[in-house]
Amino acid sequence: MKRIFLVFVYGAYFLIPSAQSDLERCGSSVSVGTKRIVYYQIVNESVSLNSAPDYASDPIEPIIRWYRDGRLIAANKRLITFVAESGLNGSVYRFTVSEFRGDVIFESEDVVLIVGEIPRLELLSGRRLSFRETSNDTLKIRLDVAGVPRPSLRVVRPQNKSRVVSSAKFEIRSNAIHVRGLSLEDWGDYEVIASSCLGNVMINMSIKILGGVHQTNLTDTTKAILCSKNVEFTCTAVAHPKPSIEWVWNDTLLFDGRYGITEESVVAPDGHRHKITSTLKIIGVEREDNERGLIRCKSKNGIEETCVGFQLNVLCTPSACGFHFVQLTNDSIVANIDHPTDIGGFSVNHLRVLVYVFFDQQSSLISNNTYGPDQEFIKLKNLSSSSTYHFLCQASNALGYGEVGKFNAQTLGEPQSSVRINVSQSNCTSATLEFYSETVGINSQIRYEVLYTVLAGIQNEYNGTFSMASAIKERSNCPVTTLFNLEGNTKYAAVVRELNVYGAGAFSDPVHFETLCVADDAGMPAWQIIIISMGAAIYLVFVTFLYKRYKKN
């Protein structure tokens, strides 16, 4: 219980509270309108007002009357005591001193009673706050602040007790803290303090920064590795919330097997975010890996996704070289060189060509030459006709000889008489003939000459003779040819021979075939067509009648 005293000093009376420190904190000079506030009291606590005048000069004790808001509440009491209820907030108190005869000899000044409330504070946004890292948006932390007199607010960081109220970062407006441009430096704990003359209240809150993914260790993004060796790539991501990392190559997510993926998770150096380090190990790199593009490390944490590409250059020996043959005769071969499509990451030093000849199911080396990297063609002379030659070609770079290209070529031989004819298809006006030969050489060096003629009488059996005089001649560059504009339902005989640079071979044995035409409806008499049509119509009517009768029953 606190008391206020009225003291007569040098002809004037003053109201002085017993707890002077309360007035100092609450500010005794504060005014409400024209009424001077002289007292704060916590709600539901007792308060006492004491006039305490010195009446020693008057032999008869005067009469003291107490008034609240102009109404008499007590008489003949120097001290009045009551409970400071909230309904008394703003009440005006005064007292008068009267002589025994009733004349007022003193009337006090008005005293405004302020019923105070201890500060109350609540964070409506929660005490553990998470915000996205941003430099433009203004965030709002909502508060519920109450108390009489109204408390003042401030925000401090416990680690250094620095005040951040109304700074460029934290600004207090009414019942909210407005935050501008949170960054990683603002991550941590804070104290929100509400203060008044009746006390302080403090609430702790923590702020976490939900930021994007920051990838590090991005300097070693290109590696050159020898074929069949292992290689490792490392990708590090720092973020909050915790990021995840996956490896993608040529739009394919990498898993176990040829790939080994290990991951380590620690707290980042700033003490707040997560640091994830993922290492991709590729077992036995191959030449084909150069064609798969960048290896991509994707990091994401629900707020942002980042990606970094790693370049793998596989260094190998050259791919196979080869030939395409431009000319083959009976004793020479001329071929253009097909250089390697992949030189393995180095320059080609030279080409090595080995040539073997096959004879009686055995091979014998006849040429072993080395050519410069710009050699365009080779030519072999004085070869045996009707022979098969086996070519091997290798390109060399700084790592050695590469893959072996294997090719076969045959020198041209004389046309053979052992050509066979197969009639694969015949119809009313055409027939397709296929030729089979044992002549050594490639097809483009051989042509075919075909003779065909009509056999005398379609009813006669073929007697094995062939009339050259009446035969029709055609030539073909392919082992398959089609004879057109033949007569229907007619027997034919045909022979074939080979042609090449040596000349013409002997004609094959004759083969005979027949063009057969299938009769159509045009040859059917009209009366047969009419009878068939009427029968079909009667049958259709009868079946329909039976079906309807069946459904009705």
Taking the C-alpha atoms of residue 191 and residue 193, their distance in angstroms, rounded to an integer, is 6
pLDDT along the chain (553 residues), means of 10: 33 34 41 53 80 60 88 88 85 86 81 84 87 74 87 83 69 85 82 87 89 75 91 91 92 84 89 90 91 91 88 92 84 91 91 90 90 92 87 93 90 77 88 83 73 70 66 88 90 88 83 81 54 74 70 62
Residue 15 dihedral angles phi and psi, to the nearest 5°: -95, 120
Sign (positive/negative) of CA torsion 216, 219, 220, 223?
positive
Residue 13: its pLDDT value, please? 32
Phi-psi region of 360 (alpha: psi -120 to 50; beta: other; left: phi over 0): left
Q: Report yes or no: 264 and 277 within 8 Å, Cβ to Cβ.
A: yes
Give the alpha-carbon dihedral of 157, 159, 163, 166, to 10 degrees.
Answer: -40
Residue 62: its pLDDT value, please? 81
Residue 61, CA distances (Å) to 8, 11, 97, 98 in order: 16, 19, 10, 9
Q: Report yes or no: 14 and 36 within 8 Å, Cβ to Cβ.
A: no
Residue 369: its pLDDT value, please? 93
Residue 225: its pLDDT value, please? 93
Taking the C-alpha atoms of residue 151 and residue 74, their distance in angstroms, rounded to an integer, is 34
Taking the C-alpha atoms of residue 470 and residue 493, their distance in angstroms, rounded to an integer, is 11
The reported pTM is 0.53
DSSP assignment letter at 458:
T
